[in-house]
Structure 1
Amino acid sequence: MFKSSQLPTVSWVLLAGILLVATWLGTQMMPPAQTFHDESFHMPQIRAYHMERYSHLEKSLTMIPGYHLAVATVSKTLFGQGIKDTRLASTLLSLPALLFFFLCARRLGHTSPLLSTTTYYLNPIFFPFFFVIYTDVPSLTLVLAGLYFTLSQRFTLAGLVMLLSLGVRQTNVMWLALFWLFALYNLLGNPLHIRWLKPENWRQLGGALLRTWAFPIGIVAFLVFVYQNGGVAIGDATAHKMDRIFVTQVFFLLLAVGLLFIPLHLMNARAGFDLLRFQPQCAVILSLLLVLYLLTFWAEHGYNLFDFFLRNRVVMWTRANEVHKVLAFVPMAIALLSLMVTPLREKRFYWLYVVAIASLLPHSLVDQRYFMEAITMFLLFMVPQHTRLHWYTLALFIPVTLIICIGIGDIRFFI
């Protein structure tokens, strides 16, 4: 197993400097005295907890207010109750994501865990959320902690952390289920194999279920909550219905991967071309996906109509006409081929793709925040052809992220 200390000293110092400078710039990004879009929905709940009104629940909140309670406690204890203080508290709950990503990368044998972590941190669709009053990265911190404890075979702690994560975002139940599957793979091999239906194997199966008891507790808690609440979202339920399947979000994920990971696709170009050349069924699959995409691309959610958001500008450009749709499919196809030829570190990790798709299908709102966990785990699970891939990706991310942060700071757009 390689450790970050094995990096050349110059590289280690460079990466540490990038992390520190990026963090300082991130804390200066936002207007200090005004809330920003979804912050306006979260701040009233946090203020209520500042005033110790613990029974108050904002009707606009879609999630259980565990994040809001944690941020209110940290900000009131360490900083203050202003907007900037609250952002600092949220950032303090977000930055441990870097620690757990690093620990996961080291556990999985990344050649340079610090380089992998820096690349993850400066991803343009991740970085701004470390410094705003949004639930996404604090939620991701708990998910990464749950993953690390699962990889470390500390299954009870992993299950309890993932149960706690449901108090920040209920949809984390998908990642709880994935980590439970990872744990069972670790204990049983393939837990879905038919041999576990045979009575002579039930003792081993029962032992594995007993060791991972905390995971199903979380799933049961989620089901009880959905039953009692009458749905997944607490407030603003009409804008977050999950009564249909929307494949648009899956295609948007492919588009994001196609644009974000250009260095990976360039390295995979020959392998992807060979895949099309020697396995013609791949071309058939791409053709069928193109037809499905053209027939089902749906981006008419009310929240996708505000062009202040960069994601909405991409969506609105794509849906403008059929030519734009076809052009947007090009990076999607490239991303899919690249993913098909990118090996993952263990066979059980391929379940990430299944769970990622399942987690996206219920969402009518097209938003990159819904697949932050999927991209994070892909960065951890993939096997790069060479360490320089991370350097190339970092060289792409740094200027793009800087431009985005400047635009956000000038209140010209948000992502």
Structure 2
Amino acid sequence: MLKYLLLSVDFFYLQDKQDYEMKPGTKYYLALFLTVTTYFGASKILFDKVNETIHVVIDELFHIPQGLAFCQYNFTYWDPKITTLPGLYFVSAAFLGSYFPCNTYNLRFINLAASCVNLILFASILKFVYGANDYIKTVIQALNLALLPPLYFFSHVYYTDTLSLTFLLIFSRLCFTNRHKLLIFIFGLCSVFMRQTNIIWIAMVFGHKALDIFIRSSRVFGNQSLTRVKLSKASLIARDVDSSKLKRYYGLDDFLVAFKYHVSTCMVTFFKFLSLQDVMILFTHSLILMLFIAFIYYNGSIVVGDKDAHKAVLHIPQVLYFLLFYGVFGLPYVLNKSLSTLKLIATNKIKVILFGLLLAVIVHYNTVIHPYLLADNRHYTFYVWNRWFGKYDFAIYATIPVYIFLLFNLYDNLCNQNCISFLLPYSVCMFVVLALQKMIEVRYFLVPYIILRLRFVKASNLIITFEFLWYLSINFVTFYLFFNKEIYWKDFDYAQRLIW
């Protein structure tokens, strides 16, 4: 059955002749089948060990009773401590209760199964992005993403992150071809129903598409900034695309030229070059966004349940903590670009100094500490904060050089193979997702990082192998601590465990 699932994922997306030419052969499917099978087998052993060790992991205290209630078709029960929409519980109700026993083990198993689907989706996305010539490299990179330590850990417990990512990946993969408008709409809504912040990434895809059309439609003979030829606005050739000015990747200068041109022509050329397919896909995304705005208006907040503990506040250092996340889990890519990053920094000394001053002001005036961060010693962030940022007054300033290096390094890993039509919407959406969160949670960084990881330059065999071994090492250490480090709270009659 797994083999048919692998085949159906690609058949579902490959539509035109070009897609079928990209379709890998039997070796790819065999490699992916063996990888998923091995991944599931090894993870199942670990999964059973987690279930033997502890029956409730921190926030499962709220999630598991909620899932059990929905499995029993009690849709009126709602724990006010839960802040996400009930997508996870509806999926649980769809599979458990009628077909399988509804218990903690099976509720958690939904996420383990979803992680296997994520591995298949990662492979499908990577094959589309990089091609299928080196199928072994594609499959190993997909495995690495499935093993991303925080994501891998939460694939063994009943949290929303893994299944939320599944629906977001399906939505993203559908958007590559833009052929299934109804399915894009359905899976877009489903991804938001799993986790509200996914709406930001739907907005990013919308912005990416709109900005790409915005820039490309400005590459016309009538744009004096490009051709130095002055043509009448009534001239037909003024509205013809100048193919000599089309590029694979556009920079910030191209966006500014496009902005100047479209403002001067009142967006006439933009709408002239809109195809019916463009209109339909932009409308599909817009409809999802409008429905979500209606939800916020009705609910009074993006959060359901415990609104007081999750109020939106400006917290810009969250973006800097994300850079640290990138530094740890993107270490192979950081090291690969380290020398070129140092050269880039050396040639931009003025920008580095200005960045340093700006970051010093930000961390001085906008470092926000959530009470949960100081109180909950069951998360790694508790120890990082209390043994560095919270312990030494100079720590928030001493980390600034690391932020600057990682910022330039990330740019170095992205700039040569990504267009401004992606980088600009992504930067805005990443800021919105992270910088309005008071709570520091490793889980919040997962989707922003995975999006970037899928946009890095095609990696060498050495980098992919290093990434695989690096993730295995981190997972070994974190699960070893989970199984062996016991934390006792007065409110619980059983030992708590250390998690991300």
TM-score of the pair, normalised by structure 1: 0.90
Aligned partner letter, 2:168:
V
State the Cα distance separating 1:13 from its structure 2 match. 9.5
Report the 3-state secondary structure (helix = DSSP H, G, I; strand = E; otherwise coil) of the residue aligned with 2:150: coil
State the Cα distance separating 1:385 from its structure 2 match. 5.2
State the Cα distance separating 1:314 from its structure 2 match. 1.2
- Asked whether the equivalents of residues 247 and 296 of structure 1 are also in contact (C-alpha less than 8 Å), the reply is no
Which has the larger Rg? 2
1:349 to 422, 426, 439: 422
- The answer as to 2:345 corresponding to 1:238 is no
Report the 3-state secondary structure (helix = DSSP H, G, I; strand = E; otherwise coil) of the residue aligned with 1:343: helix
Aligned partner letter, 1:414:
I
- The answer as to 2:73 corresponding to 1:52 is yes
Q: Tell me what 2:166 maps to.
A: 141
- Asked whether the equivalents of residues 124 and 397 of structure 1 are also in contact (C-alpha less than 8 Å), the reply is yes
What are the equivalent positions in structure 2 for 1:200-279 lying under 5 Å apart? 201-205=270-274, 207=276, 208-242=278-312, 244-279=313-348
Aligned partner letter, 1:388:
L
Q: 2 CA distance for matches of 1:381 and 1:401?
A: 24
Structure 1 residues 45-94: Cα deviation after superposition (integer angstroms, max 9, x where no partner):
11211221122222111111121111132232443111112111232234
Q: 2 CA distance for matches of 1:290 and 1:353?
A: 17
Q: 1:50 to 1:155 in 2, by over 3 A?
A: closer
What are the equivalent positions in structure 2 for 1:75-86 lying under 5 Å apart? 75-86=96-107
Q: 1:6 to 1:52 in 2, by over 3 A?
A: closer
- The answer as to 2:153 corresponding to 1:128 is yes
Q: 1 CA distance for matches of 2:365 and 2:216?
A: 35
Q: 2 CA distance for matches of 1:304 and 1:89?
A: 29
Q: 2 CA distance for matches of 1:201 and 1:384?
A: 33
Does 358-367 or 194-203 show the bigger shift? 194-203
What are the equivalent positions in structure 2 for 1:88-99 lying under 5 Å apart? 88-99=109-120
Q: Tell me what 1:184 maps to.
A: 210
What are the equivalent positions in structure 2 for 1:5-404 lying under 5 Å apart? 19-32=39-52, 34-109=55-130, 111=134, 112-154=137-179, 156=181, 157-185=183-211, 189=215, 193-194=258-259, 195=262, 197-199=266-268, 201-205=270-274, 207=276, 208-242=278-312, 244-296=313-365, 298-305=367-374, 306-317=376-387, 318-343=389-414, 345-347=417-419, 348-350=421-423, 351-384=425-458, 386-404=460-478
State the Cα distance separating 1:41 from its structure 2 match. 1.1
Structure 1 residues 88-136: Cα deviation after superposition (integer angstroms, max 9, x where no partner):
1232234322222111111101652212111111111211011110001
Q: 2 CA distance for matches of 1:78 and 1:330?
A: 55
Work out the number of aligned pairs and report it.
412
Q: 2 CA distance for matches of 1:252 and 1:407?
A: 23
Aligned partner letter, 1:334:
F
- Asked whether the equivalents of residues 247 and 361 of structure 1 are also in contact (C-alpha less than 8 Å), the reply is yes
Q: 1:73 to 1:206 in 2, by over 3 A?
A: same
Q: 1:190 to 1:17 in 2, by over 3 A?
A: same
Which runs of 5 or more structure 2 residues have no equivalent in the other structure?
Answer: 1-21, 218-254, 485-495
Structure 1 residues 304-362: Cα deviation after superposition (integer angstroms, max 9, x where no partner):
12122112211222222234334444543332121121135331332323321221111
Structure 1 residues 208-241: Cα deviation after superposition (integer angstroms, max 9, x where no partner):
2334322111111111111111111111100111
Does 28-37 or 203-212 show the bigger shift? 203-212
Measured on the aligned residues, the alpha-carbon RMSD in Å equals 2.7
Q: 1 CA distance for matches of 2:100 and 2:400?
A: 47
Does 340-349 or 219-228 show the bigger shift? 340-349
State the Cα distance separating 1:183 from its structure 2 match. 3.3
- Asked whether the equivalents of residues 356 and 401 of structure 2 are also in contact (C-alpha less than 8 Å), the reply is no
State the Cα distance separating 1:169 from its structure 2 match. 1.0
State the Cα distance separating 1:138 from its structure 2 match. 0.7
Q: 2 CA distance for matches of 1:148 and 1:346?
A: 18
Q: 1:15 to 1:73 in 2, by over 3 A?
A: closer
Q: 2 CA distance for matches of 1:98 and 1:311?
A: 27
State the Cα distance separating 1:292 from its structure 2 match. 3.1
Q: 1:320 to 1:54 in 2, by over 3 A?
A: same
Q: 1 CA distance for matches of 2:334 and 2:394?
A: 23
Aligned partner letter, 2:121:
F
Q: 1 CA distance for matches of 2:196 and 2:414?
A: 30
Does 127-136 or 313-322 show the bigger shift? 313-322
Q: 1 CA distance for matches of 2:322 and 2:24?
A: 31
Report the 3-state secondary structure (helix = DSSP H, G, I; strand = E; otherwise coil) of the residue aligned with 1:60: coil
- Asked whether the equivalents of residues 188 and 202 of structure 2 are also in contact (C-alpha less than 8 Å), the reply is yes
State the Cα distance separating 1:141 from its structure 2 match. 0.9
Q: 1:187 to 1:153 in 2, by over 3 A?
A: farther
Structure 1 residues 243-296: Cα deviation after superposition (integer angstroms, max 9, x where no partner):
x21112111101111122222222111111111222213322441244135314
Report the 3-state secondary structure (helix = DSSP H, G, I; strand = E; otherwise coil) of the residue aligned with 1:341: helix
State the Cα distance separating 1:22 from its structure 2 match. 4.0
TM-score of the pair, normalised by structure 2: 0.75
- Asked whether the equivalents of residues 155 and 212 of structure 1 are also in contact (C-alpha less than 8 Å), the reply is no
Which one scores higher on RCO, CA 8 angstroms, separation ≥ 6?
1
Does 370-379 or 178-187 show the bigger shift? 178-187
Identity %: 19
Q: Tell me what 1:414 maps to.
A: 499
- Asked whether the equivalents of residues 67 and 89 of structure 2 are also in contact (C-alpha less than 8 Å), the reply is yes
Q: 1:234 to 1:20 in 2, by over 3 A?
A: closer
